[in-house]
Amino acid sequence: MAAAKKILVIVESPSKAKTIGKFLGGRYKVIASVGHVRDLPKSKLGIDIENDFEPQYISIRGKGDIIKELKKEAKNASKVYLATDPDREGEAISWHLAFLLGIDAATPCRIVFNEITEKAIKDAIKKPRPIDLSLVDAQQARRVLDRLVGYQISPLLWRKIRRGLSAGRVQSAALKIICDRENEIKKFKPQEFWTITAEFEKEKNFIAKLVEFKGKKLLIENKVHNDEILAVLKQGKYIVKDLEEKDRMRRAAAPFTTSSLQQDAANKLNFSTKKTMMIAQQLYEGVEVKGRGTIGLVSYIRTDSVRISDEARAASREFIINSLGEKYYGGNIYKNKKKDVQDAHEAIRPSYVELEPEIIKDSLSKDQFKLYSLIWNRFVASQMAPAKFKSVNAVIENGEYDFKAVGSKMLFDGFLKIYSSAKDDEEDRLLPDMSKGEELKAVNVEGQQNFTQPPARFTEASLVKDLEEKDIGRPSTYAPIVATLIDRKYISKEKKSLIPTELGFIVTDMMEQYFKEIVDTGFTAQMEENLDDIETKGVRWKSVIEGFYDTLKDELQIADEQIEKVEFKEEPTGELCEKCGKPMVIKHGRFGAFAACTGYPECKNTKPIVQSIDVKCPECGKDIVARKSKRGRLFYGCSGYPECTQVFWNKPVDKKCPKCGSLLVEKKSKDSKYACSNSECDYKE
């Protein structure tokens, strides 16, 4: 008797296939497509502009064996379910799979789930649906639009500026935002202002700040003005003019969306957006947890909704009441601030709220634990009761001048019990008891000179926030933006700050002059809305592309005719070539800057540009220098390479470990600043 045919389930990643296969059992076979199987060709535009912008899809090179296996398994299966990610991209992958496997997209062949749990998977299997062609069209529109911009403007940048450059619908708009901020900083002129504070004597001294004169906000512009006020204040008395006491509440933030997760992970964990999404994907697809096997730990990670399911809310209620008590449960419901939010998915939350981070810490990598803790804490806090405070505002007058002091006391910690920050620790600032009309003694009154500060440079976190506020791009597009801008040498990243390079300014200026709409934030936001309308309102996607391309075509022709070749002034290194004696200059290549001989092509001498850190190699005594790997990661190695291969991934300092004698490296944490470079030594200080 022939074995019964199995039901085939196709997902995107092998790790997800492993997790889901465990839940479904022997009747099912789960295999992975390993991402996309069809796409536009890399070697050409791949869009038939004359034929209504018809995409010319081909099977992706290198996917032949996978496609062959998929076809074989589909042929032998009793039924095929396409279970790719529950978003536009996932829907398009299912559509391409259906084409290759000869599956009618109108039949119930598509299953979706927001989290990889046994219940979610089995519920999805019971509710297959046809492929959503509106979602597919929305993805096709984005893919074709980005291809038209990238493949038609990028070659122009190659010809006019430098090889290896690129333009992109979201990328170029983001670069302009960074360049505009840098121009603001350059043009900024600091303005002087002074602040006056008074320290008052009580059982516990407190500080008040001068804020008003004759009932109006006071601006102290210079030292002369400051000294005049101080002279008047010395002659007068300080009287408690008003005391206002009130209760206030602070509510928890909503659970994470993709962008708020990226921002929080950048600010609190120092993760890049790319790193955040990589680790979040691991948590979503499944992690081997001791005692439970491979399970998905968080819900789907690409979402701009703060909604959570009734099931998740019920689970959080039970957990909070059982763990902390009923008074800590808030049962909060959050609404999306924007009307056009794609609400197909929940907010990012733990799949199993009972799996507290500490319980599964041993099953997670260090970074997985950090990110899972962030997601878990934020979600549980979002369902907890508000924190309650008693605030006291005191107004202290001296003649026509008013000082203000603010005190606060926490009455109930609420959600802050599990989700607090350094800022929250400052909430408890009590003012001493005082009464209206009471005269106070000032033990110190002083003015301090200040200057207005320029706007801060963007960080990854603040750039993501700005892009989201301006409706540029979508959560799934944020992660690669900074990486691409750095890779193209349009910006550099110093500590957390994003700084545009000369090349970044040149490209932005050119784009702004000849392709104004692409870098215009208002236009880019409108285009995002048009693309969303394809999905939500059934707008014909090729019409959207046609309207955009009519303008782009004319702009390309004008730009090609008018833009002259940009010549970069070569920056001298101050060194002479050791082979021919001619000056060395700085050039830029695929892996960053390097020194090259001006005698090229007769002399082809090149060498890396290195930065000494004033630390000697413990092996050979030569200088340790900062270098960059081919992937752009900073490391520290001996200048004597390749003869000496000493390498440090953390910055070494000129100080030896008292325990083993190895060099110490910078490895800042809450409890230490330096650590031993020897992995077998646990010394820290």
Annotated catalytic residues are 300
Q: Look at residues 218, 217, 221 and name the one whose alpha carbon lies nearest to residue 193.
A: 221
Determine the angle formed by the axes of helices 133-160 and 88-101, rounding to 10 degrees: 100
Residues 12 and 1: their CA atoms lie apart, in Å, by: 33
Q: Which two tokens stand for residue 149?
A: 């911009």
DSSP-derived secondary structure for 197-251: EEEEESSS-EEEEEEEETTEE--B-SHHHHHHHHHHHHHS-EEEEEEEEEEEEEP
Are residues 220 and 195 in contact, defined by beta-carbon separation less than 8 angstroms? yes
φ/ψ of 256, rounded to 5, equals -70, 140
User: Is residue 294 a contact partner of residue 287, using CB atoms and an 8 Å limit?
Assistant: yes
Maximum separation of any 2 CA atoms in the chain, in Å: 107
Alpha-carbon distance of 510 to 160, in angstroms, equals 10
Backbone φ, ψ for residue 196 (5° rounding): -115, 130
Please choose, from the candidates 617, 663, 656, the residue with its C-alpha nearest in 3D space to the C-alpha of residue 640: 617
Please give the Cα distance from 256 to 304 (Å, whole number): 9
Cα-Cα-Cα-Cα torsion 381, 353, 16, 118, nearest 10 degrees, comes to -140
Per DSSP bridges, beta strands 647-648 and 652-656 are: unpaired
Closest CA to 466 of 491, 498, 495: 498
DSSP conformational letter for 139: H
User: Which class for 429: exposed (0-12), middle (13-18), buried (19 or more C-beta within 10 A)?
Assistant: middle
SS3 439: strand
Residue 80 · residue 74 · CB < 8 Å: yes
CA distance linking residue 285 with residue 445, whole number of Å = 60
Q: Looking at this protein, which amino acid is placed at residue 453?
A: Q
Provide the 10 A C-beta neighbour count for residue 382: 25
Name the residue among 262, 18, 250, 167 with its Cα closest to residue 490: 167
Please, where are the H alpha helices in 491-565?
502-514, 516-519, 521-536, 541-562
Q: Are 357 and 369 in contact (CB under 8 A)?
A: yes
Tokens encoding 517 = 């709409």
The percent of the chain in helix, strand and coil, each rounded to the nearest 5, is 40, 25, 40
Distance between CA atoms of 92 and 121, rounded to whole angstroms? 20
Rounded to whole angstroms, the Cα distance separating 583 from 127 reads 71
**Cβ–Cβ < 8 Å for 510, 563:** yes
Give the other-Cβ count within 10 Å of 524's Cβ: 22
Helix and strand element counts for the chain (H, E): 18, 29
* In contact, 292 and 351? CB cutoff 8 Å: no
Can you say whether residue 372 is alpha, beta or left, with left for phi > 0 and alpha for psi between -120 and 50 degrees? alpha
